[in-house]
């Protein structure tokens, strides 16, 4: 494939873990980062607009730029001058895969601009090497509901269509939870009973979503491997879960490393679920917003 001088990439946000499926389940969401990348005579120029645009790095440390450069270097090509125009809808540092989406956007843009023509498997291998976890980058690339595992650097995955009737209600606190901090508090070992607890619920979550047995998600989204420990960073978390379920949600969980909480809801209950979650946040003294989004079954798009 020959190199192109300009490309536009749109990549969806993601939610990961889905409760029990720690590092192994993910779902693409209909919030996006869009990047227009254009080759120039030299240097870099980065502009950003949209959500939290002022927080997007405009230097060589920009994540999209870093991943784009990595593709050129791997292809044995000099890093070119490039202009990046970024439009963002994804809340940053909120457990919605903003860095994973930026990584995918940069790798895909680099693949086109360099002419490297990377396969999805190659993109995922590079993305996991950079991000270290597959549960955000895989659904952001592929779209849909994805189960995955990493073996010797390669991502093995199965993509399944996310049911349209399964709506996602987000409670997005004003504070972020950095992945590194949220992982530091996790134990190096867990009791066997907790591992079995999560294994059984991970399988149940996959089957329940595929078979549209959404009433099982209250059980399938339960977790003992990460959420109980992360409660120290977000004490109101369990109360938000309970309020969402009482208002009609199928189940609720911490999205990725947080701080967003996602509740699976039937379409007719999204307003009530959002209000119940927000009320708990207010009562706990937390500034937060709510949002209702659908899953994205398309994944990254290149034009």
CATH number of domain containing 225: 3.30.70.890
In the predicted model, is pLDDT for residue 4 greater than 60?
yes
pLDDT per residue as tens digits for the range 69-122? 999 999 999 999 999 999 999 999 999 999 999 999 999 999 999 999 999 999
Structural domains of the chain, count: 2
Position 62 scores a pLDDT of: 97
Positive or negative, the CA dihedral 91, 92, 98, 103 is positive
Position 122 scores a pLDDT of: 95
Are both 42 and 184 inside the same structural domain? Answer: no
Are both 70 and 33 inside the same structural domain? Answer: yes
Count of CB atoms situated within 10 Å of the CB of 284: 15
Q: What is the mean pLDDT of the chain?
A: 94
Strand 261-265: give its sheet, edge to edge. 251-254, 261-265, 167-173, 288-293
**Res. 257 pLDDT band, cuts 50 70 90:** confident
What's the whole-number mean pLDDT along residues 123-134?
91
Position 3 scores a pLDDT of: 72
- Largest alpha-carbon pair distance within the chain? 59
Position 1 scores a pLDDT of: 53
CATH number of domain containing 147: 3.30.230.10
CA dist 47 and 27 (Å) reads 28
Are both 17 and 139 inside the same structural domain? Answer: yes
276 vs 153 pLDDT, higher one? 276
Position 2 scores a pLDDT of: 58
**Residue 1 domain-assigned (yes or no):** no
233 vs 168 pLDDT, higher one? 168
pLDDT per residue as tens digits for the range 172-181? 999 887 777 7
Are both 211 and 272 inside the same structural domain? Answer: yes
What's the whole-number mean pLDDT along residues 149-169?
93
Are both 73 and 113 inside the same structural domain? Answer: yes
Position 168 scores a pLDDT of: 98
What's the whole-number mean pLDDT along residues 271-288?
96
Are both 265 and 171 inside the same structural domain? Answer: yes
Q: What range does the domain containing 46 cover?
A: 6-161+297-302
CA 134 vs CA 149, 228, 276: distances in Å? 7, 22, 32
Token pair of 68 as six digits? 């784009």
Are both 15 and 153 inside the same structural domain? Answer: yes
Q: What global pTM score does this model have? A: 0.94
Are both 144 and 13 inside the same structural domain? Answer: yes
Are both 279 and 251 inside the same structural domain? Answer: yes
Are both 41 and 65 inside the same structural domain? Answer: yes
Are both 76 and 141 inside the same structural domain? Answer: yes
pLDDT per residue as tens digits for the range 6-60? 999 999 999 999 999 999 999 999 999 999 999 998 889 999 999 999 999 999 9
Are both 144 and 197 inside the same structural domain? Answer: no
């Amino acid at each position: 494939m020959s190199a192109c001088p300009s490309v536009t990439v749109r990549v969806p946000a993601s939610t990961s873990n889905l409760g029990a499926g720690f590092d192994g389940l993910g779902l693409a969401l209909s919030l996006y980062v869009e990047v227009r990348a254009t080759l120039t005579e030299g240097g870099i120029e980065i502009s950003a607009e949209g959500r939290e645009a002022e927080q997007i790095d405009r230097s060589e440390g920009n994540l999209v730029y870093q991943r784009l450069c990595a593709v050129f270097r791997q292809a044995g090509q000099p890093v070119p001058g490039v202009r990046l125009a970024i439009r963002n809808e994804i809340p940053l540092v909120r457990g919605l895969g903003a860095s994973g989406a930026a990584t995918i956007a940069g790798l895909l843009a680099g693949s086109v601009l360099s002419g490297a023509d990377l396969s999805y498997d190659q993109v995922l291998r590079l993305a996991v090497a950079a991000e270290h976890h597959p549960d955000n980058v895989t659904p952001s690339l592929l779209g849909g509901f994805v189960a995955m595992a990493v073996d010797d650097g390669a991502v093995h995955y199965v993509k399944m269509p996310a049911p349209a009737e399964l709506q996602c209600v987000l409670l997005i606190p004003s504070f972020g939870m950095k992945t590194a901090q949220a992982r530091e508090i996790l134990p190096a070992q867990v009791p066997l009973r907790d591992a079995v607890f999560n294994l059984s619920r991970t399988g149940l979550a996959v089957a329940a979503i595929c078979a549209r047995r959404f009433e099982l998600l209250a059980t399938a989204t339960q977790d003992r491997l990460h959420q109980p420990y992360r409660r120290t960073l977000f004490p109101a978390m369990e109360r938000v879960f309970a309020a969402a379920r009482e208002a009609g949600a199928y189940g609720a969980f911490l999205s990725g490393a947080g701080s967003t909480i996602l509740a699976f809801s039937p379409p007719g209950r999204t307003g009530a679920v959002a209000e119940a979650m927000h009320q708990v946040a207010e009562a706990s003294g937390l500034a937060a917003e709510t949002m209702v989004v659908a899953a994205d079954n398309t994944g990254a798009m290149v034009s």
